[in-house]
Structure 1
Amino acid sequence: MNYRQLGASGLRVSEISLGSWLTYGEGGYVDSARAHETIDKAYELGINFFDTANIYMRGEAEKVVGQALGKYARESYVIATKVWGRMGEGPNDRGLSRKHIMEQCEASLKRLNLDYIDLYYCHHFDPDTPMEETLRAMDDLVTQGKVFYIGVSNWTAAQIAEAVHLADRKLLNRIVASQPVYNMFNRAIEQELIPACTRFGIGQVVYSPLAQGVLAGKYKNATDVPPGSRATHSSGKQTIQRYLHDDNLLKVARIREIADELGLTLSQLAIAWILRQSNVSSALIGASRVQQVEENAAASGVSLPSDALEQIESILNN
């Protein structure tokens, strides 16, 4: 496993990280035993970066991740979790207010059974809360030692730029990580987000690198959804419809030929293609089976030849 700096920070994280969206916890499609197996395998393979969120299964995913990692030395892994989503029915049970951030950090620490969170994300932008209030709350958590690094997820380049400038003016801790979607079929971050974050020393921890399994070769046609897969979950089903159509599947077939020529699986090629970006600190995978972790982890350190990159570009732009 290769490791990269998380943005301009001193923190080193594995090029492949393991997430828990729709996967772990009561209501997820992976039972607790298999969840522990995949986390254990990831750790064994050198993955030191694990991602969850308070809103994943209303805290249940955090519990599973915390339990699975509890057997390992705390300094040997990096835990990321998030705040923003609705966690109750009250008017202050969502968003990025100081009240919600402080309360949810304490709740996440209890569910994870930890004393500190390595990386704490603002899960989405909150237009109803002054940005200074949000950044000061996050800064205070760092000062208190409950959070080590601050990140944002699903923020635009303009929102991140505003946050960086505000933090500098107010002498607050800067954002070091951004978590956007990025894969061969969703390249929006290449236009503004990556250039802005490179300038500000912010690393990308990208999710959905396999386009919800489409770039893993799971689906042969637009109606081919394996029973029990993430795509059968209501949230996953909505997300995968963005990718699961015949035009993309034709491109997948052609990209698979390139992977075969390089001696890679389709998943490994798709992840290595993402890691060609120096601003990407880690590619965040989901896994329901140990074999998936093993296959995807093997993409770390793979350098794709220029002619293969040119062929992929041609296919994607066709």
Structure 2
Amino acid sequence: MKMTSVKGLKKECSQLVLGTVFFSLKNSQIAFDILDSYFEQGGNTIDTAHVYGKGQSEKTVGMWLSCRQIRHEVIILTKGAHHDANGPRVTPEAITYDLMTSLDRLNIDYIDIYMLHRDNPHVPVDEIMDSLYEHQQSGLIRTIGTSNWTYQRIEEANNYAIRKGYPGFVVNSPNLSLAKPNEPRWPGCISVNQGYIDWHKRTQLPLFSWSSQAGGFFTGKYSPDNKEHPDMVRVYYNSDNWERLRRANELAYQKGNGITANHIALAYVLNHPFPTCALIGPEKTSELESSLKAIEVELSEDEMKWLDLRC
């Protein structure tokens, strides 16, 4: 497994980060099988969130950690301050509540990477960063990051952190994929554009992409005539993405060795000129095995541009 460094962590993160949004206590045996296989093959970074399955994801991961007794061998990434039915919750009070609840569900005493799951631009960055720094000082959080924030807002927050002598945000998790969305997959979500990519290239801030495989767009399950999945149609169906799929298939054929368009799409995320990790969400071990193959696919700068219709 290839690794990526994150400032403030003693261990490097595996480039494939195991997403657990589908995990629950009801399917805990399947979840344990996936977690075991991921760990056995060198994966060490597990992504969850306060809102996933109303806590079921965190509880399942916590059970696995307790059963396997490997807490210090893995990196736990969880997220909080997601909005609720009443709107945004990015406040010191909500951050503290979600953090303490997550620690309890996971049955651990610190989080390796704690991300804010959403932003509320109306809340001053000083309130947010002061709150997070307090939890870092108490030892409950090792490092902090963002999910679905604009890069301008991250920069504002980190400039404040520099002035105060805080560590600041050391990782960012927007959506980055070969398929470009027509609109946000979920309200308030951020997908990177070229300006965002240029910012990451300049800052070298590690990017952990969610939905890195574009919801399975490159698996062969979808075609322009297949309208059975309204969300996929709404988000990913456009002529440029069909051309990206065609090129991914063409390049996969050239690479050979069992490489598929889906491997090419995942490799696209992992071959940018700044540190990247890809969040994957396998629902069975065979899907995990397939994703692991993409780690070894290297793409040149010209191949990256060609896949993305930039030449």
The TM-score with structure 2 as length reference comes to 0.86
C-alpha distance 81-185 of structure 1, shift in aligned 2 (>3 A): same
Pair 1:294 & 2:289 matched: yes
Alignment-derived partner of residue 269 in structure 2: 274
- Residue 108 of structure 2 aligns with which residue? 114
CA distance in 1, matches of 2:195, 2:262: 26
Cα offset for 1:133?
1.2
Measured after TM superposition, the shift of residue 98 of structure 1 is 1.2
For 2:266 and 2:92, how far apart are their aligned partners in 1? 37
Please name the residue that 1:194 is paired with.
197
Q: Paired residue for 2:72, among 71, 75, 78?
A: 75
Report the CA distance shift for 1:277/1:246 in structure 2 as closer, same or farther (over 3 A): closer
Aligned to 2:216: 213
**Which residue number in structure 2 is paired with residue 228 of structure 1?**
none
Which of residues 172, 175, 178 is equivalent to 2:169? 175
Distance 2:279 2:198 in 1: 20
Q: Which amino acid aligns with 1:129?
A: V
Segment drifting more, 120-129 vs 6-15: 6-15
> What's the counterpart of residue 99 of structure 1?
93
Residues 1:94 and 1:106: Cα distance change in structure 2 (over 3 Å): farther
Residue of structure 2 in register with 1:13 after alignment: 13
Root-mean-square deviation over aligned CA pairs = 2.6
Partner residue of 1:41?
37
SS at match of 2:283: coil
Q: 1:218 to 1:6 in 2, by over 3 A?
A: farther
The 1:133–1:17 alpha-carbon spacing in structure 2 relative to 1, beyond 3 Å, is: same
Q: Per the alignment, do residues 132 and 255 of structure 1 end up closer, same or farther by CA in structure 2, a change over 3 Å counting? A: same
Task: State the match for 2:186 in structure 1.
Answer: none
Q: Any conservation in 2 of the 1:8–1:201 contact (CA below 8 Å)?
A: no
Is the 8 Å Cα contact of residues 13 and 281 (structure 1) preserved in structure 2? no
Matched, 1:2 2:2: yes
Report deviation, 1:219.
2.1
Structure 1: runs of 5 or more not aligned:
226-230, 232-236
CA distance in 2, matches of 1:5, 1:240: 36
CA change 1:44–1:165 in 2 (3 A) is same
SS in 1 for 2:208: strand
Report the count of equivalent residues: 299
- Report what 2:24 is aligned to: 25
TM-score (norm 1): 0.84
What are the Cα deviations for residues 259-300 of structure 1, in whole angstroms up to 9, with x where unaligned? 122021222111111111132331111111101111111222
Higher relative contact order (CA 8 A, sep 6+): 1
Structure 1 segment 227-242 matched on structure 2, within 5 A:
238=231, 241-242=234-235
**Amino acid of the structure 1 residue aligned with 2:298:** S
The code of the aligned residue for 2:52 comes to Y
Q: Any gaps of 5 or more consecutive residues in structure 2?
A: 182-190
Letter in 1 for 2:82: G
1:65 aligns with 2:68: no
Aligned mates of 1:135, 1:242 — CA distance in 2: 33
**Counterpart residue type for residue 6 of structure 1:** V
- CA distance change for structure 1 residues 243 and 66 in 2, over 3 Å: closer, same or farther? same
Measure, in 2, the Cα distance between the counterparts of 1:168 and 1:310.
35
Give 1:239 shift. Answer: 6.2
Q: Could you give the per-residue CA deviations for residues 57-77 of structure 1, whole angstroms, max 9, x where no partner exists?
A: 111111112222331421211
Deviates more, 1:123-132 or 1:133-142: 123-132
User: Offset of 1:175 from its aligned partner?
Assistant: 0.5
SS at match of 2:199: helix
Structure 2 CA distance for aligned equivalents of residues 69 and 57 of structure 1: 18
Superposed, 1:143-162 pairs within 5 Å as 143-162=137-156
- The amino acid that maps onto 1:73 is I
Task: Tell me by how many angstroms 1:238 deviates.
Answer: 3.6
Q: Secondary structure at the match of 2:273?
A: coil
The answer to whether the Cα contact below 8 Å between 1:25 and 1:31 also exists between their aligned partners in 2 is yes
CA distance in structure 2 between the aligned counterparts of 1:221 and 1:290, rounded to whole angstroms:
29
Partner of 2:132: 138
* Map of 1:124 onto structure 2: 118
Q: Which residue in the other structure is 1:234 paired with?
A: none
Rounded to whole Å, the distance in 2 between the matches of 1:7 and 1:190 is: 25
The 10-residue stretch of structure 1 (64-73 or 33-42) with the greater mean CA deviation from structure 2: 64-73
Shift of the alpha carbon at 1:32? 2.4
Contact 2:9–2:142 at 8 Å: present in 1 too? no
Aligned mates of 1:286, 1:217 — CA distance in 2: 17
Contact 1:63 1:111 in 2 (8 A): yes
Identity between Structure 1 and Structure 2 (%) = 28
Give, as a single letter, the amino acid of the residue that structure 2 aligns with 1:294: E
